[in-house]
Amino acid sequence: MHVQEWLETVPAVAIYALVGVVIGLESLGIPLPGEIILVSSALLASQHGDIDPFVLGACASAGAIIGDSIGYAIGRKGGRPLLAWLGGKFPKHFSEAHIATAERSFEKWGMWAVFFGRFVALLRIFAGPLAGVLRMPYWKFLIANVFGGILWAGGTTAVIYYVGVVAEAWLKRFSWVGLVLAVLIGLTSMLVLKRKAAKSTAGQQVTEREPVIVGE
């Protein structure tokens, strides 16, 4: 069953809780589809009045902030052995290459890596635990965590909700013609994103071959 179809069978309160818990666990360091759940729930809210987008965004933001904070505490206590353990449990997400890439981002950008990491799937999982392992001052982490969590969760909810509202009204007005155009736009966007991702990956591979010098 599709995620959105399944969410349609769940009460609004349960959806709020589900979004908060899944995003919280993902932010804590467990690879779960938090963004997929959030997008599906926001789209569902645009089609059903029972789900309040403001409450949904607030629950998503709370889950993101709390989950990241718990991940930070666990990472600070567990240290490097924790990353090795996670690598054994989730090799696809916590491989040495992924950890090295995330660590370079932290060394280069500091608290901004936590803030912007919200918008990158890999860093969203790493941000809390890795910030703790690297012993980033908690006040810096907290500021980036709060603002990043609110902007990502609240912003994603708002954008998807309003896009869903406009799209539904537009499709009703233009019937199948609108549907065809929407599909074409979606396919074009997907191809563009894939091309950009391929270029980004190629650039990242070149960067990884260069020696990294960390300043004091």
Is the pLDDT at 208 greater than 60? The verdict is: no
d(CA 161, CA 175): 20
Quick one: pLDDT at residue 215? Answer: 40
In the prediction, which pLDDT does 23 show?
A: 93
Q: What is the mean pLDDT of residues 121-149?
A: 85
Residue 147, CB half-sphere, CA atoms under 13 Å: how many? 11
d(CA 110, CA 104): 10
pLDDT in tens, 178-192: 555 555 665 675 566
pLDDT of residue 61: 95
In this predicted structure, the answer to whether residue 201 has a pLDDT above a threshold of 60 is no
Q: CB under 8 Å to 60, separation ≥6 — which residues?
A: 19, 20, 23, 38, 153, 154, 156, 157
DSSP letter assigned to residue 211: -
**Residue pLDDT, tens place only, 22-44:** 999 988 878 788 888 888 888 88
What pLDDT, on a 0 to 100 scale, did the predictor assign at position 80?
Answer: 73
Which 8-state DSSP code applies to residue 210? S
- Considering only CA atoms, which of 80, 56, 40, 60 is closest in space to residue 160? 40
Mean pLDDT confidence for 144-172: 81
What mean pLDDT is reported for the chain? 76
pLDDT tops 60 at residue 193? no
